[in-house]
A and B are shown apart, each in its own frame.
Chain A
C-alpha cells in the first residue's frame, strides 16, 4: 500500500451526496494526508453534513467551493501529490477541478474513478461490486463500502423516523440507495378518471420531492402495475413511465 501522507485527494459532492460519503469512508485505509470535499452552491450544505458525519479522524478534512480549489492548493504547498476523484458532481466540476489543480501545481493531478460493473441493461445491479480505481496504477483499488440508513439519512437531510414512517420508502445498504415503491390504489378499477388523474399527480409530486431531497441517483423508484381496465389507467401508466416510474400494466 502506498504512503499517502503527503498526498491529498479532492472528492466532488454532487446531487447524490451519500455516494461522496461512501467514497470518503472507502478511502480511509489509503491514508491520504488530506481529503477535500469540493462543493457547489447547491451542495454546500450536504458537503458540510458529510464532514459532520465523517467526524474527526487522523485525516485532515476540508470543504471548499470547486471553483476555489486553486487557492486551497496554493495554501498547502507541502502536499506533493494531488489526486482528483471523478464521478460525483457535474462534468463542469470535474473539468474545472482538473484544470485549476493543473494550473496551481504545474502538474497533472492523478485521476481516480469510481467504477461499477453493471448488468447488461446498465441500470441493473452492480455485478462485480463497486471500486475506486487509481488510473495511474489500476491495480490500486478500494471496494466502495455499503453504509447504514442512519448515515444515509443524516447526510440526505431526512429523519430516520421519517424514513421508517414513509410508506414505500426504504434504504438498502447492499445497493446504497433509497428505494421508493408506489402502490396502486386497491380500488383502482372502480375509480373515475378524475380520481385516477389526481392520484397520478400526487405520485408525480411525491417522487419529484423525494428526487430533489435525496438525489436522483440515490433513489430507485418502482410501482405496482396499473390495471388495463378502465383504459385511462394505461395512459396514466405511460405518463408515469415517462417520469421514470416504471411498472407496466396487468
Chain B
C-alpha cells in the first residue's frame, strides 16, 4: 500500500433507539487513533431515527469522547429514509483519512462502500478506513483501503482486542427505563459481617434484623415488613455489585412501563439490578429475600417452587434495551437457604450475597 494517512474523520450512521451503539463504536475507534491530530466525527441520521432518538443529545455525548489533544468535533447530517435511499442517494462526500464505522444496516454499508470505492478510484484518495466493533464489544477490526503500489487497489486488515467501551448510561438512554444509582452509605466491614452471618445461619429472623440494622431501618409489624426487608436486600445487593472489581456501573429499581392498568394508571414493572461488567457483559439480576422466618425448614417446597418460578421468569426476561443478547447474563440473588432449595437453574446464576463476588469474577 502507498503512503498512509492516519484516520482524520469518523463516519457513523445512527441506529434507531440505540445511541449506545453509535457512541461505543465512536469511542472504540477514537481510542485506537494515536495521530495527535484533531479527529472529527460525522454522524448521519434519517428522519425515522430522529423521531425515536435524541440526535442533539447523541451529538453532545459524542462530543465528549476524548481523542489525543482534545475531544471529537461533531457534525451531524440528515440522510434520506430507507425507502428513499436508492432514489435520492447518500449525501456523503468521502475525504482523505475518512473512517467508516460499519453501521448496523447492510443498505447503509453498501452505499457507504460504494461511495468509498468511487472516491478512492476517481477522487484519488490515498487512504480510507473501515472500523468494525464485533458483537462481543471487545474485538475491533480495522480495514485500511488504498492503492496497491503494484497496481490496482488493496485492503489491509488489522484485528485486535480492547477493553469494552460500553457505558451503562448510554445503553439505558433510549430505553425509556427509569432507575436509581445505588447509595454508597454502607461501611464495607459491616456489609462483610452481614454476608458471613447470612451464609452461616440456616434459618431464622436474626438475619432479617441484621439486614434491617445494616440499612438503618426498623422492623415493622404486618405485611409491610416483607416490603421493607425486600427493599433493604436490594440496596445491599446494589452496593455489593457497585463495589465489585468486575463491575463498571450498576443501577437498581429499574422500572419499565407495563400494559396492566389498575385504577386508571399504568402499572410499572420493576427489575432490581442492571449492571455492566468490564468485559462488556450486561447483567439482569433479581433479588429475592426468601426463607428467613423459619419457612426454609417448615415449608421448603414453597420456597423451592417460588425459586423455580423466579428462575423461569428471569430466564425469559426481556427488557427494552438494545444490546447483543449473547452478552446478557441473568442472576437471581437470594438468601442461603433459598439457594440450597433452588434446584435446576440452567444458565441463570443463582447465588447468595456471599457467593456474588465469585460469580461476578467470570462475567
In the complex, the chain A residue whose C-beta lies closest to that of B154 is A103
In the complex, the chain A residue whose C-beta lies closest to that of B104 is A91
Which residues of chain B are near A242, meaning CB under 8 Å?
317-320
Which residues of chain B are near A115, meaning CB under 8 Å?
85-86, 107
Which residues of chain A are near B309, meaning CB under 8 Å?
197
Taking a contact as CB atoms under 8 Å apart, the answer to whether B113 and A98 are in contact is yes
Which residues of chain A are near B130, meaning CB under 8 Å?
95, 99
Stretch touching chain A among B143-151, B273-281, B287-295: B143-151
A86 contacts which of B82, B104, B106, B157 (Cβ < 8 Å)?
A: B106
Shortest CB distance A70–B (Å) = 11
Taking a contact as CB atoms under 8 Å apart, the answer to whether A102 and B145 are in contact is yes
A28 at the interface (CB under 8 A from B): no
A186 at the interface (CB under 8 A from B): no
What number of residue pairs across chains A and B have CB atoms under 8 A from each other? Answer: 104
B64 at the interface (CB under 8 A from A): no
B169 at the interface (CB under 8 A from A): no
**CB contact under 8 A between A95 and B132, given known A103-B154, A201-B312, A239-B316:** yes
Taking a contact as CB atoms under 8 Å apart, the answer to whether B154 and A231 are in contact is no
B110 contacts which of A113, A234, A238, A249 (Cβ < 8 Å)?
A: A113
Query: By DSSP majority rule, is chain B's interface helix, strand, loop, or mixed?
Result: mixed
Which residues of chain B are near A235, meaning CB under 8 Å?
258, 260, 269
In the complex, the chain A residue whose C-beta lies closest to that of B319 is A242
B114 contacts which of A95, A135, A243 (Cβ < 8 Å)?
A: A135
Once bound together, how far apart are the Cα atoms of A89 and B113, in whole Å?
17
Shortest CB distance A120–B (Å) = 8
Shortest CB distance A126–B (Å) = 10
B155 at the interface (CB under 8 A from A): yes
Taking a contact as CB atoms under 8 Å apart, the answer to whether B260 and A238 are in contact is yes
Shortest CB distance B328–A (Å) = 13
**CB contact under 8 A between A118 and B106, given known A103-B154, A135-B114:** no
Once bound together, how far apart are the Cα atoms of A111 and B118, in whole Å?
11
A94 at the interface (CB under 8 A from B): yes
Taking a contact as CB atoms under 8 Å apart, the answer to whether B107 and A87 are in contact is yes
Which residues of chain A are near B92, meaning CB under 8 Å?
none
B121 at the interface (CB under 8 A from A): yes
Once bound together, how far apart are the Cα atoms of A158 and B326, in whole Å?
27
A57 at the interface (CB under 8 A from B): no
A106 at the interface (CB under 8 A from B): yes
**CB contact under 8 A between A249 and B259, given known A94-B106, A118-B82, A238-B269:** yes
Contact indicator per residue, chain A 108-138, by CB within 8 Å of chain B (1) or not (0) = 1001010101100010000110000101101
Interface positions, chain A 195-250, Cβ under 8 Å from B, are 197, 201, 204, 231, 234-235, 237-239, 241-243, 249
Taking a contact as CB atoms under 8 Å apart, the answer to whether A231 and B155 are in contact is no
Which residues of chain A are near B313, meaning CB under 8 Å?
239
Shortest CB distance A155–B (Å) = 21
A40 at the interface (CB under 8 A from B): no
Which residues of chain A are near B209, meaning CB under 8 Å?
none
Once bound together, how far apart are the Cα atoms of A249 and B260, in whole Å?
9
Taking a contact as CB atoms under 8 Å apart, the answer to whether A113 and B134 are in contact is no
B258 contacts which of A95, A99, A234 (Cβ < 8 Å)?
A: A234
In the complex, the chain B residue whose C-beta lies closest to that of A193 is B309
Which residues of chain B are near A127, meaning CB under 8 Å?
83
Which residues of chain B are near A77, meaning CB under 8 Å?
none
B204 at the interface (CB under 8 A from A): no
B186 at the interface (CB under 8 A from A): no
Shortest CB distance A110–B (Å) = 9
Taking a contact as CB atoms under 8 Å apart, the answer to whether A106 and B86 are in contact is no
**CB contact under 8 A between A108 and B153, given known A113-B106, A118-B83:** yes
Once bound together, how far apart are the Cα atoms of A102 and B259, in whole Å?
51
**CB contact under 8 A between A138 and B86, given known A99-B155, A231-B260:** yes
A92 contacts which of B117, B120, B132, B259 (Cβ < 8 Å)?
A: B132
Which residues of chain B are near A81, meaning CB under 8 Å?
none
B152 at the interface (CB under 8 A from A): yes
Which residues of chain B are near A197, meaning CB under 8 Å?
309, 312
A105 at the interface (CB under 8 A from B): yes
Interface positions, chain B 252-271, Cβ under 8 Å from A, are 258-260, 262, 269
Shortest CB distance A187–B (Å) = 21
**CB contact under 8 A between A108 and B121, given known A115-B107, A135-B111, A135-B114:** yes
B109 at the interface (CB under 8 A from A): yes
Taking a contact as CB atoms under 8 Å apart, the answer to whether A107 and B259 are in contact is no
Please indicate which of the listed interface residues A106, A135, A237 has the most CB atoms of chain B within 10 Å of its own CB: A135
A86-B110, A135-B114, A239-B318 given; 11 more Cβ-contact pairs under 8 Å = A91-B132, A95-B102, A106-B152, A108-B121, A108-B153, A113-B110, A237-B259, A238-B258, A239-B316, A242-B320, A243-B316
7 residue pairs from A and B, CB less than 8 Å apart:
A87-B106, A92-B134, A102-B153, A105-B152, A113-B107, A128-B83, A234-B260
